[in-house]
Structure 1
Amino acid sequence: MSAMGQPHPADSQVEKARARALELGQKRKLLDREIQTHADVLKREGVTLTSPLTDAQGFPLNSVDIPSIRAARSKIIALQNDRKDIDAELASLVDVALARGDSGSSEIDMQPLRLSTSQDQDQKSMPPSATETGPATPPLPSVESKQTDGDVVVTPKALLSSLSFLDRFLPVWIFLAVVIGVVIGYFAPGVHDAFATGGEVQGVAAPLVVGLIIMMWPILTKVQYERGRELVQSRRVWTQIGVSLLLNWIAGPFIMLGLAWATLPDLPTYRIGIILVGVARCIAMVNIWVSLAKGDCDVCALVVIVNSILQIVLFSPYSIFLINVISDADNLNLDYSHTAIAVALYLGVPLAAGVVTRFSVIFLMGKQRFQNIFLPYFGALSLVALLYVVIVIFALQARRVLDNIGPVFRCFVPLVLYFTIMWVGTFVLCWRLSRKYSRTFDYQMTVVQAFTAGSNNFELAIAIAVSAYGAGSDQALAATIGPFVEIPVLLALTYVSLWLGKKWTWGSKKVGDDLEGSVAAKEKA
């Protein structure tokens, strides 16, 4: 106290420091709780602040929720920076008390300091997902930066060498399958009778149906159905579905209609077969392309399911409108049951098999062994079945293709243009959107949109053309040309996608950059 009975100015300063220290202690408790909440997100996903979110080829993992992880990491970094500011201010408040030189005052201010020390111990005991930053955390790049210390120059040779043996030489395998199919179909006249002995399903040879189902089985086994509830509750996923519906059911069929009329004005029967291909939205092989291009297979499966349901409802009226009304052809009769059976066959059967296989094997082997041991071997079955399907298609149609080589080559033109325009247009559109809406559009979602927009259900188109016009019709032949073009074109675009994924900047990052946070967070840290 002063001589006049007033509190000493130093005592008043200490009391203010004590009150501020207690206030900061409460704020720090709230920060620690919030940090723990975001740490629980990382723990649930099985990652830490520095765990890589990419696979061996540098593409985003499909097994974790990357947007949630990135948001949690960014929040933790920002909150930890705020906590450091509080600790620094607490230290300065203690200095105030120590400068007073009064033991009681020091004791008063040491209480928040002890609180700080104890909470630091709590922080050290928090899960590694929240606190493990590691000594080798890479520097954060500027958001404008397009090249970081971790980037590499991506060349086609380096990209191919990063793929598995089967994926790396897939164009070779498909070319060999095409040659084998053509040789069998042309020099073995009895091949049609041999396939016919197996029967037909919806106008498609049974051996081809079996191959298509087996081709889809491993792909649909990889889908994380256990995340279904989480996916359908995500606004991001519903945005992707909405974009996909616009591309698949508004843009796609009408672009194919325009290209068919522009390139085949004097071949009306072939033109109808091409239009049918445009209406048949892809529900099968798109999963193959998305998987090879390192897209989000879970979202792709959801989009495929939505397209399948709409295909049952819309294929018949859409085809009749485009062919009978706009193209002024009045000889197409379709019914819902035929379309529904085709969709159930090519999607429903492998979907059910995939669900049963996934949960059964996980139950027997555990998720880690399922992911690391079972899937790599089982997944190869898709590529084997794909090659089988190519051989069968070319064997069944080789003679007809070679006997009608002129119109066949004419039909190649609208199909090549369609697949290229739809894929390139969608890929560039989603890439541009990723620069502005990086949480909604990234490389994985761009792959899903580009390949679902650029793919078609040639199985359904062939089946409908055969049942409506006959197996020997020009319409059926034109529909059959679809996979001749789609498979090699989309396979080539798969490699283009992988290359652009690493070459282009997505949002503020390139694919493969595992650098989180912001420049401000870096500077504060």
Structure 2
Amino acid sequence: MKLKLKFLDRYLTLWIFLAMAVGIGLGVLFPQISSLVNGLSIGTTNIPLAIGLILMMYPPLAKVDYSLLPMAFKDKKVITISLLLNWIIGPILMFILAIVFLRNEPDYMTGLILIGLARCIAMVIVWNDLAKGNREYAAFLIALNSIFQVFSYSFLVWLFINILPSELGLANYNVQVSIGEVTESVFIYLGIPFLAGYLSRKFFIQTKGLQWYTRKFVPAISPITLYALLFTIVLMFSLKGDKILQLPSDVLKIAVPLVLYFVIMFFFSFFINGRLKVPYEKNVAIAFTATGNNFELAIAVSIALFGIHSPQAFVGVIGPLVEVPVLILLVRTSLWLKARYNS
């Protein structure tokens, strides 16, 4: 049976553009929306937005089967390659691209770094299935990345934003973040949905069964991520009416390093694994796990640290807008490579 992207996923780039347009339209028609949004805040936390961001993270984390983790460590070669690609090579590559393309735009540079540190846990299964990869391998690599993300994201943000730019002498870069604030954001926007996803999976499988959970519950909650993402985008862009003429050039400026990142990570991963004689089905699972990013987390942390108006949050929104068409092309590329694999 030929696999296809679901309707909502296939046109994600279009939905994001429409959400931007709706947001800008609301901002122009109702300029008072800014004070209304700010009035729904407690301290620096906007309540509706916080709820939306947590809901955005919940479905992908509810899909993760953590019982697969012990199996992951049986194939030490594959796990070592995956961890190296996801947690060392990927972040360093995005850091380098951010410096090369955005060193004179420190806020955008920070936003790109935050994306590079957030490993994908949502769309990997989709890309993997379309490319005829090993679903079980993709599933436990996602489980592994979920655990690593909870415990390492705060440290990596501190290292790549506070320490490395100053050590490299980037004179224009004066962005600093508090590791305490990052940890708090990760706890709220990753920890809460992580715990909710784990507990709901455990509870519903025990009471309703695995088949009901995977065939009924997961499909029912999956669209919540998209709806929450679009809600966040509409809200963000309703506050950006004054920058409407600047937006197209900024989108392009951010899109170029993102496209390069996706392409480099995919081909580097694919060919390294090929040289190591990793079977195609496992290779694809590793390649797409390493190539994708968790834009939901990057957006949530950017908003929590820098605010909904921030350039960092804007970069996070551009991420999925660029990712979907590029990874669809990479899926087609992987299927073309499959016919020549090990030949």
TM-score normalised according to structure 1 size: 0.57
The 3 A distance-change label for structure 1 pair 347 and 57 is: farther
Aligned mate of 1:438, from 265, 270, 278: 278
The 3 A distance-change label for structure 1 pair 219 and 226 is: same
The 3 A distance-change label for structure 1 pair 282 and 224 is: farther
Alignment-derived partner of residue 498 in structure 1: 331
Cα distance between partner residues in 2 of 1:200 and 1:293? 39
Per the TM alignment, residue 420 of structure 1 is displaced from its structure 2 partner at its CA by 0.8
**2:331 matches 1:488:** no
Alignment-derived partner of residue 67 in structure 2: 226
1:271-286 → structure 2 map (5 Å cutoff): 271-281=105-115, 286=120
**2:20 matches 1:178:** yes
Per the TM alignment, residue 341 of structure 1 is displaced from its structure 2 partner at its CA by 0.7
Alignment-derived partner of residue 465 in structure 1: 306
**2:259 matches 1:416:** no
* Letter of the structure 2 residue corresponding to residue 364 of structure 1: T
The 3 A distance-change label for structure 1 pair 216 and 379 is: same
Per the TM alignment, residue 193 of structure 1 is displaced from its structure 2 partner at its CA by 2.1
Preserved CA contact (<8 Å) 2:255 2:322: yes
Cα distance between partner residues in 2 of 1:430 and 1:216? 26
Alignment-derived partner of residue 215 in structure 1: 56
The 3 A distance-change label for structure 1 pair 170 and 251 is: closer
Alignment-derived partner of residue 207 in structure 2: 364
Alignment-derived partner of residue 452 in structure 1: 293
Per the TM alignment, residue 416 of structure 1 is displaced from its structure 2 partner at its CA by 1.2
Preserved CA contact (<8 Å) 1:283 1:456: no
Alignment-derived partner of residue 191 in structure 1: 33
Cα distance between partner residues in 2 of 1:453 and 1:439? 26
More displaced 10-residue stretch of structure 1: 333-342 or 439-448: 439-448
Cα distance between partner residues in 1 of 2:339 and 2:115? 27
Aligned mate of 2:10, from 140, 144, 168: 168
Preserved CA contact (<8 Å) 2:69 2:143: no
* Letter of the structure 1 residue corresponding to residue 265 of structure 2: T
Cα distance between partner residues in 2 of 1:382 and 1:395? 20
Cα distance between partner residues in 2 of 1:180 and 1:285? 29
Preserved CA contact (<8 Å) 1:223 1:297: yes
The 3 A distance-change label for structure 1 pair 420 and 188 is: same
Q: Structure 1: which 5+ residue stretches go unaligned?
A: 1-55, 59-161, 265-270, 511-525
* Letter of the structure 1 residue corresponding to residue 331 of structure 2: L
* Letter of the structure 1 residue corresponding to residue 59 of structure 2: P
1:59-458 → structure 2 map (5 Å cutoff): 162-200=4-42, 203=44, 205-235=46-76, 236-261=78-103, 264=104, 271-281=105-115, 286-294=120-128, 296-325=138-167, 326-328=169-171, 332-396=175-239, 398-402=240-244, 405-406=245-246, 408-436=247-275, 437-439=277-279, 441-452=282-293, 457-458=298-299
Preserved CA contact (<8 Å) 2:110 2:312: yes
Q: Secondary structure at the match of 1:287?
A: coil
State the structure with more CA Rg: 1
Cα distance between partner residues in 1 of 2:18 and 2:201? 32
Per the TM alignment, residue 462 of structure 1 is displaced from its structure 2 partner at its CA by 4.1
Higher RCO structure (Cα 8 Å, ≥6 apart): 2
Cα distance between partner residues in 2 of 1:248 and 1:333? 22
Cα distance between partner residues in 2 of 1:409 and 1:171? 15
In terms of fraction of residues, the more helix-rich structure is: 2
* Letter of the structure 2 residue corresponding to residue 256 of structure 1: A
Cα distance between partner residues in 1 of 2:176 and 2:40? 27
Q: Secondary structure at the match of 1:293?
A: helix
* Letter of the structure 2 residue corresponding to residue 346 of structure 1: Y
Instruction: Summarize deviations over 1:64-106 as a string: whole Å, max 9, x none.
Output: xxxxxxxxxxxxxxxxxxxxxxxxxxxxxxxxxxxxxxxxxxx
* Letter of the structure 2 residue corresponding to residue 245 of structure 1: W
Per the TM alignment, residue 427 of structure 1 is displaced from its structure 2 partner at its CA by 0.8
Cα distance between partner residues in 1 of 2:200 and 2:36? 32
The 3 A distance-change label for structure 1 pair 493 and 176 is: same
Alignment-derived partner of residue 132 in structure 2: none
Q: Secondary structure at the match of 1:228?
A: helix
The 3 A distance-change label for structure 1 pair 284 and 354 is: farther
Instruction: Summarize deviations over 1:360-380 as a string: whole Å, max 9, x none.
Output: 111111112222222222222
Preserved CA contact (<8 Å) 1:214 1:385: yes
More displaced 10-residue stretch of structure 1: 275-284 or 347-356: 275-284
* Letter of the structure 2 residue corresponding to residue 430 of structure 1: S
The 3 A distance-change label for structure 1 pair 196 and 506 is: farther
Q: Secondary structure at the match of 1:208?
A: helix
Q: Structure 2: which 5+ residue stretches go unaligned?
A: 130-137
Instruction: Summarize deviations over 1:373-420 as a string: whole Å, max 9, x none.
Output: 222222222222222222222223x22422xx34x5554344212111
Per the TM alignment, residue 503 of structure 1 is displaced from its structure 2 partner at its CA by 2.7
